[in-house]
Amino acid sequence: MKRSSRGTLTTAAAWAGLSFVLGILFTSPVHGQTVRVTGATPIGVETFHQRRLALLDSLKDGAAVLYSSRREEASTGYRADGSFWYLTGNDDPGAILLLLPGDPEDEILLLRPRDIEAERWTGDRPALTESLQTAWGFDRIRRVDYLDWLILRRMKHEHVLHLISSLAAPSDPVPPDLELYGKVSARIPGVEIKNSSRLLERMRVIKSDAEIAAIEKAIAVTHQGITDVLAAVRPGVTEFGLDGIFEESLKRRGAQHMAFEPIVGAGEETTVLHYEKQDQTLAAGQLLLLDVGAEWDHYCADISRTFPVDSAFSPEQAGIYDVVVAAQDAAIAAVKPGATMRDVNEAARAVVRRAGYTDALIHDISHHLGLEVHDGSGDGVSLEPGMVITVEPGLYFRDKAIGVRLEDDVLVTATGNRLLSAAIPRDRAAVEAWLAAARK
C-alpha cells in the first residue's frame, strides 16, 4: 500500500550528528572554499561507475540524458530520484547525467550553477574541481549550461536519443528528458527518440548484496521504530502521536529519511488503505494498523503490522488476523524463481477465498522494493534471484471497524526465497508478546 512519495523527515539536523553520513571534506584551491559532499555510501563511487559503464554498453549509440528530478520537499530536502541515484550516488539538486556511448567523454555529470547569495541561505555548493570529480567518480563534471552545446555536438554525428528514465503515465506531466528530446528533434532533422527505459529498470530490479544489506538495515531500523511505537500504544494516545514516535525513533537510530509517509490508523481507519489524516485517538478494543518504513542509504523498507490497542486480539479480530497470516504464509511460499507476481497474489487469494472473505481483500499484494518503495518490475514477467518484493495481504471490514494488513519484504533466492523481515514478529501470539514486551 501507499503512494511512493518520500517521507518528511527534516534534513536540517542531518549532517554533523549522524555518523553514518560520511561527509567528505575538501578544499577548492580556486575559491579557498571548503565543501561538504554528500553521497558517500557503502556502495561506493566505483560501483556507481560500473553501473554507468554497463548501461553505456547496452545503449551502444546516440545519447541519453537523465535528470535528477525528484521534487524537493520543504521538510525533507532534496533526494535524487531512484534511477539518477542508482547511476551516480549523487543528491546534488538539479543535477543532470549525460551518457554518450562510444565517445571519449562518455559520461558527464552536469551541475546547476553556483549562486553565492543563495548559498548564504541554503549552504555551500561545490565548485568544479578535480577533487570533486575524484570524490564523485566522474572524469568530467560541468555546469548544466553546457547541455545544449554537448547535445548539439553529439547530434551532428548521431541521431538516437535514448529515454532511460521510468515511463510516465499519459496523465503525468511530460518528464524533463522527453521535453528536452522533443525540442532537440524539433530542431535537428532525423533525430529519433528511442525507449530504452527497460535497460535501467532491468538493472535496478536485481539487487546486489550491498543493496540487499541496505534494505535489511532499513528493515531492522523499521523494526525498532515499531517497537518504540508499541511502547506508547494504549487508549487515549493519538495516531499522529504514534507517527511522531516512529519518525523520532528512526532519526535517533541514524535513518534520516522515512521511505514514505507512515500509515497509522486505528479502529475504522484500519480499513482505509492510504489513511493519512492520523487525527483519531486510540480506544480500547480497537485494532491499530501501522504501514511504515525507514530508508537506509536510499534503500527502502516497507512493513505493515496490525496490533490490538489492548493487550490481546478479540476473538473476532483474532479469526480475521489468522486468515491474513495464513494468506501471507501461502503467498511467501509461492515466491521463487520462475513464479509470477500473479502466482504470489493468487496463493494469498486462494486462502482468503476458502475462508469466505473474497471481497475483503481489495488490493494486489506485491510490488518490487528498492530505491523506491514501489520499484519498477523490470520486464514484469517472472521472479528471478536477487529481486526483492513485498507480500502484503490485507482484509478490510468497514462495518466491523476491522482492517488487518501484514506486509513483509522478501528476497527471491536461487532456491526459493528469504524473508528479509523474518525477525519482526508476525504470528498472533508473537505479536501479542512483542506488544507486552515493548510496554515493559
Give the footprint of Mn ion on this chain (CB under 5 A): 302, 390
Minimum CB distance to Mn ion, residue 20 (Å): 25
Nearer Cβ to Mn ion, position 196 or 390?
Answer: 390
Nearer Cβ to Mn ion, position 247 or 408?
Answer: 408
Q: Is 288 helix (H, G, I), strand (E, B) or coil?
A: strand
Scan for cell 508478546, then name that residue. 433
Q: Are the beta carbons of 266 and 287 closer than 8 angstroms?
A: yes
Minimum CB distance to Mn ion, residue 390 (Å): 4
Minimum CB distance to Mn ion, residue 374 (Å): 7
Minimum CB distance to Mn ion, residue 303 (Å): 9
Q: How many Cβ atoms from other residues are within 10 Å of residue 77's Cβ?
A: 18
Q: Is 55 helix (H, G, I), strand (E, B) or coil?
A: helix
Q: For residues 320, 324, 327 and 330, what is the CA-based torsion angle, rounded to 10 degrees?
A: -130
Q: How many helices (H) and strands (E) does the chain have?
A: 13, 19
Nearer Cβ to Mn ion, position 76 or 366?
Answer: 366
Nearer Cβ to Mn ion, position 297 or 302?
Answer: 302
H-helix segments, 162-272: 176-187, 197-205, 209-230, 239-252
Nearer Cβ to Mn ion, position 269 or 302?
Answer: 302
Per-residue burial over 265-296, b = 16 or more CB atoms within 10 Å of its CB, e = otherwise: bbbbbbbbbebeebebebeeebbbbbbbbbbb
Minimum CB distance to Mn ion, residue 143 (Å): 39
Nearer Cβ to Mn ion, position 180 or 331?
Answer: 331
Q: Which residue is nearest to Mn ion (CB)?
A: 302
Q: How far is CA 118 from CA 26, 28, 115, 125, 435, in A?
A: 21, 19, 5, 10, 48
Sign of the dihedral defined by the CA atoms of residues 57, 63, 64, 65, in that order: positive
Minimum CB distance to Mn ion, residue 6 (Å): 15
Could you list the beta-strand ranges (E) of 22-94. Answer: 24-28, 33-37, 63-67
Nearer Cβ to Mn ion, position 191 or 410?
Answer: 410
Minimum CB distance to Mn ion, residue 1 (Å): 5
Nearer Cβ to Mn ion, position 282 or 303?
Answer: 303
- What is the distance between the alpha carbons of residues 73 and 436, in angstroms, rounded to a whole number? 37
Minimum CB distance to Mn ion, residue 123 (Å): 34
Nearer Cβ to Mn ion, position 49 or 405?
Answer: 405
Q: Is 403 helix (H, G, I), strand (E, B) or coil?
A: strand
Nearer Cβ to Mn ion, position 201 or 302?
Answer: 302
Minimum CB distance to Mn ion, residue 385 (Å): 21
Smallest CA-to-CA distance from 361 within 408, 328, 316 is with 328
Element (H, E) at 402: strand 402-405
Minimum CB distance to Mn ion, residue 380 (Å): 17
Minimum CB distance to Mn ion, residue 72 (Å): 24
User: Which three three-digit cell numbers place residue 152?
Assistant: 548539439
- What is the distance between the alpha carbons of residues 181 and 287, in angstroms, rounded to a whole number? 51
- Give the contacts of 282 (CB within 8 A, at least 6 positions apart): 233, 234, 235, 236, 237, 238, 239, 266, 267, 288, 309
Smallest CA-to-CA distance from 396 within 283, 278, 274, 235 is with 274
Nearer Cβ to Mn ion, position 247 or 302?
Answer: 302
